[in-house]
Amino acid sequence: DAGVIQSPRHEVTEMGQEVTLRCKPISGHDYLFWYRQTMMRGLELLIYFNNNVPIDDSGMPEDRFSAKMPNASFSTLKIQPSEPRDSAVYFCASSYGRPNTEAFFGQGTRLTVV
Amino acid sequence: GENVEQHPSTLSVQEGDSAVIKCTYSDSASNYFPWYKQELGKRPQLIIDIRSNVGEKKDQRIAVTLNKTAKHFSLHITETQPEDSAVYFCAASQEAGKSTFGDGTTLTVKP
């Protein structure tokens, strides 16, 4: 398996634009997590899904952020409208069987909002 | 909610020495404690983990200890090598899946 795949690797966008980040979890994994990493706030869990259903979205910073998982092999994190303070590295991770077990991270998407 | 504190924020050791990183957590419901290593520009990768029913776990040069009563756990790296240089994150996770990460420790191993 190629591991968790995220796209794009880098995204530069202007303030106010919509941004969509994409993730393909490891095949067979039933948990998917979205994290955000910044120097100021460290690594934060935004939302996680189990069998494509959002379980806990309490980490989503505000209504401008939304996440979907239409099927077991694809998830998106959307920011609309984007703001400079959204600049960060966004990681997707997946795990199998239970949420509190090893999470396999993707390479991340480095988002820069100018 | 859960609060995880990690110390020190930076650690510099000579090659061959040991390195110890400590974390404390606040929520007794947390029962899974992974440690991730993140090299510059790379993804976090699990290096070792421990569950609350175990007090210590070892994997070659890496060990983790857990004190549930005191709510703290530690990462021990022995015989450090330059390739151990990275940022190390601890985390506390609950059965419901909520994970809280420490702020990270930048470890530098000097050859």
CA distance linking residue A72 with residue A53, whole number of Å: 10
Yes or no: say if A1 and A25 are a contact pair by the CB < 8 Å rule: no
CA distance B95 to chain A (A): 6
What residues of chain B, 20 to 39, have a C-beta less than 8 Å from chain A? Answer: 31-32, 34
B96 part of contact set with chain A, CB < 8 Å: yes
pLDDT digits (tens, 9 = 90+) for B60-87: 999 999 999 999 999 999 999 999 999 9
Q: N- to C-terminal Cα distance for chain B?
A: 41
pLDDT at A99 over 80: no
Pairing of strands B86-94, B30-38: antiparallel
SS3 B44: coil
- pLDDT range class, residue A1, cuts 50, 70, 90: low
Q: Which helix (H) or strand (E) holds A66?
A: strand A65-71
Contact list in A for residue B98 (CB cut-off 8 A) is 45, 56, 58
